[in-house]
Amino acid sequence: MKMNIPAGKSDMLNETIIDYIISLTHLYGLVHKDKVVEIFNLQNRERVNITILSGIMENTPDDLRKNFVEIYGDYFVHETIMEFDDFDEQLRKRSGKPHYIPARKELLKYKDGTYFEVTKEYRALLRYAIKNIFDGDEYAAEMLCEDVQGICQFDYSVPEIFEVFNTRGVDFKSEKQINEIMPLVMELANNTRIWENNGHTPQEIFEKYEKPHLRPLPDKPFEFGGADIIDFKSGRKIGRNDPCPCGSGKKYKKCCLGKGGESK
């Protein structure tokens, strides 16, 4: 589809603008067109203006749709937010928070909707899972940790975390093991970049505002017996990072998860 971009702008520039829109939408969940212009001009020699962004919004390129980016007013918005009618709430949660702006090379990695920053907290959880849960099976441990990271990024809760363990067939050996792994999960949660913080981690927002934005561990240790959240069920379930069974081509966590459907 032809974009309404002033003559003289190269195809490469046009493609780069689109890459920025997709990357920023994946990183922030939603982004105002003025912020796209600001960040693009901060990181590139060639400049764009609001007229170019307005033209893109009026004639939405197919690449945006293919990468789950929708237009809503003056914002580029991830389709997940629109599907759950969550725009106003998302806007409210991030009010007054600064935007995390990674270097250009890092930022453009977010064009891949499955990309996330692999932190030392993620690696710590992965090492523990490889050694203590999966007996050296690095692939199984990585699938678990990616699912946990997805929970931390989009809809964190302790029951959801334990449901991931359930889905991946984790059989905890003792209460001690649960209480060893949960602090690692919380550290990952507090150092994962999330939409409602404009790409900042809870830890970064805590340090900037000195407010209780961190995700705390429960006051009491987890009990090994009797808690529904660790009542592991039999049978294979769809993992958060598995293809959605609806056939959309998206990951389950970015599609039907949370819509009330059960995976079989």
Q: Which helix (H) or strand (E) holds 196?
A: none
> Which residue carries 């600064």 as its tokens?
98
Sign of the C-alpha dihedral computed for residues 170, 174, 179 and 181 taken in this order: negative
- Secondary structure of residue 249 in the 3-state scheme: coil
Q: What is the structure's pLDDT at 47?
A: 92
Classify residue 131 by its DSSP letter: I
Classify residue 192 by its DSSP letter: S
Q: Which residues pair with 70 in a beta bridge?
A: 77
Classify residue 231 by its DSSP letter: -
Q: What is the structure's pLDDT at 249?
A: 65
Q: What is the structure's pLDDT at 145?
A: 97
CA angle 182, 195, 124 (to 5 degrees): 30
Q: What is the structure's pLDDT at 247?
A: 59
- Going residue by residue through the chain (264 aa), what tens digit of pLDDT does each one get? 344 444 455 578 889 999 999 999 999 999 999 999 999 999 999 999 999 999 999 999 999 999 999 999 999 999 999 999 999 999 999 999 999 999 999 999 999 999 999 999 999 999 999 999 999 999 999 999 999 999 999 878 889 999 999 999 998 989 999 999 999 999 999 999 999 999 999 999 988 775 555 666 565 655 544 443 333 333 344 566 666 656 566 676 667 665 544 333
Closest C-alpha to 94, from 194, 220, 216: 194
Say how far apart CA 212 and CA 233 lie, in whole Å. 35
> Which residue carries 């294979």 as its tokens?
236
* Maximum pairwise Cα distance, the chain: 68
Q: What is the structure's pLDDT at 264?
A: 32
Q: Which two tokens stand for residue 76?
A: 């580029």
Assess contact for 39 and 101: CB atoms under 8 A. Answer: yes
Q: What is the mean pLDDT of the chain?
A: 84
Q: What is the structure's pLDDT at 222?
A: 56
- The set of residues, in sequence order, having a beta carbon less than 8 Å from that of 57 and lying 6+ positions away, is 33, 71, 74, 76
Q: What is the structure's pLDDT at 83?
A: 93
